[in-house]
Amino acid sequence: MIPNTSIRAERIAADIDALAAITEPGRPWTRRAFTPMFLEGRKWLEKAMREAGAVTQIDAAGNLVGTIPGKHPQLGTIMLGSHSDTVPDGGRFDGIAGVVAALEVARALRDRGVVLEHTLEVVDFLAEEVSIFGVSCIGSRGMSGTRPAEWLARESDGLTLEKAIASVGGATHRLAQRDDIKAFLELHIEQGPVLQDDKLDVGVVAAIAGITRIEVIVEGRADHAGTTPMGSRKDALTTAAWIALGVEELGKALASGDQHFAATVGEFEMTPNAANVVPARVRMLIDARAELRQDMERFIEELAKGVAAIAEKTGVTVQAPRIVSDNQPTACDPDVLAVLDAACDSAGARHRRMASGAGHDTAWMARITKAAMIFVPCLDGRSHSADEFATAEDIALGAAVLLDAVRALDTKLQGKT
């Protein structure tokens, strides 16, 4: 048990083990949204929420919500949670740790006989990970009223997203956007090595990076690899290689400051992809992530200049970089961040402010309420991997921070000091 709280690490460990056991056979740990395994995990979570004293429901957006009424429900809701779906062959902790920590906060309050002034809700958001429909954060976008209407018609194996949401208990014809949530908090594993390397317990997430994906297409010329002189080629691959190195160099330059920035050539397709043919065409998809929007704008500008210069140097045609998707960064609420800093101090957690380079449900909840999140360490920063690991003790300390923050918010949100 964490000192001065009713948070129990062994209870958290048992919850995570129970959910980890619900996985596709031979594929640890796979429980993708909309699958039978996902629904089985939801069934387990629903039972655990009820045992913690919550009334459960599936909302219109397909989220599983456990509600514990406050003394004065008219004050609104404090919500905690994350997601229980996984990537294929992913980890036991990504998302799951946040749902379990939220559940543990509810149990700790129950064990101490504490009833909040506000209603407390524990949420398992639907499909935070990229789903079979090619989109992510489906549940939190639905709850925040930011899910594009055209998404509902997206298909996978003859099933539309609208029908898939209905299959888990949602109802897209009903209004999903909430206006009663006064604060939202999410615990998540860091998915990076900073906390471990700095020997810290908690990262207080000040901002969630915006994500921009940019397509670059290089048009060379197919020729015989054995007979075409080296000086006469229009090799799409070598030009693409120069561009990829330029992306890395520019990304490192922008990441040299205090704010988070990362850029990756994550998709790469080459044709005709034959050993005896000079590459004729390359398509690259760049994933760039920035805590500050001005850094992203500089990256886009410098990328366009660099691509043009490389094309001129090599004599190979490169289409102007095309922005495929562009999400703005999200700043977490400063008042809630201050509460989380104080809660870390109260729990004795060594902590620092940091940015998240990954997207999270918090980014969408921040559109409708005061929202923030905390990170707890994960082993060697590994995530989206079967090797992903976080200790129950680290998650429990994070849950203790959440518990203290919830108690403080329950007072502060009423305008009391």
Is 56 among the domain residues?
A: yes
Is 1 among the domain residues?
A: no
Is 242 among the domain residues?
A: yes
Query: Do residues 109 and 251 both lie within one domain?
Result: no
Q: How confident is the model at residue 1 (pLDDT cuts 50, 70, 90)?
A: low
Query: Do residues 16 and 135 both lie within one domain?
Result: yes
Read off the pTM. Answer: 0.92
Is pLDDT at 396 greater than 80 in this prediction?
yes
pLDDT per position as a tens digit, 309-327: 999 999 999 999 999 999 9
On average, the pLDDT of the chain sits at 96
Q: How confident is the model at residue 3 (pLDDT cuts 50, 70, 90)?
A: low
Query: Do residues 355 and 258 both lie within one domain?
Result: no
Query: Do residues 82 and 118 both lie within one domain?
Result: yes
Q: What is the pLDDT of residue 336?
A: 98
| DSSP element (H, E) containing 305 | helix 293-314
Query: Do residues 383 and 311 both lie within one domain?
Result: no
CATH of the domain at 139: 3.40.630.10
Query: Do residues 152 and 29 both lie within one domain?
Result: yes
Q: What domain count does the chain have?
A: 2
Question: Which residue in 3, 69, 62 sits closest to 38, CA to CA?
Answer: 62
pLDDT per position as a tens digit, 79-104: 999 999 999 998 899 999 999 999 99
Is 405 among the domain residues?
A: yes
Query: Do residues 46 and 142 both lie within one domain?
Result: yes
Is 146 among the domain residues?
A: yes
pLDDT per position as a tens digit, 143-191: 999 999 999 999 999 999 999 999 999 998 887 789 999 999 999 999 9
Query: Do residues 170 and 304 both lie within one domain?
Result: no
* CB-CB contact of 176 with 142 (8 Å): yes
Query: Do residues 13 and 139 both lie within one domain?
Result: yes
Is 4 among the domain residues?
A: no
Query: Do residues 166 and 223 both lie within one domain?
Result: no
Q: How confident is the model at residue 38 (pLDDT cuts 50, 70, 90)?
A: very high
Count of positions (residues) in the chain:
417
Is 29 among the domain residues?
A: yes
Query: Do residues 20 and 93 both lie within one domain?
Result: yes
Mean pLDDT for 393-416 is: 95
Q: What is the pLDDT of residue 282?
A: 98
| DSSP element (H, E) containing 68 | strand 64-68
Pairing between β-strand 210-219 and β-strand 281-290 as defined by DSSP bridges: antiparallel
Structural domain boundaries enclosing 177: 9-208+330-412
Question: Which residue in 136, 41, 35, 28 sits closest to 84, CA to CA?
Answer: 41
- Percent of the chain's residues with pLDDT above 70: 99
pLDDT per position as a tens digit, 329-377: 999 999 999 999 999 999 999 999 999 999 999 999 999 999 999 999 9
| Triad 245, 356, 129: Cα angle to 5° | 90
Rounded CA gap, 337 and 208, in Å? 13
CATH of the domain at 259: 3.30.70.360
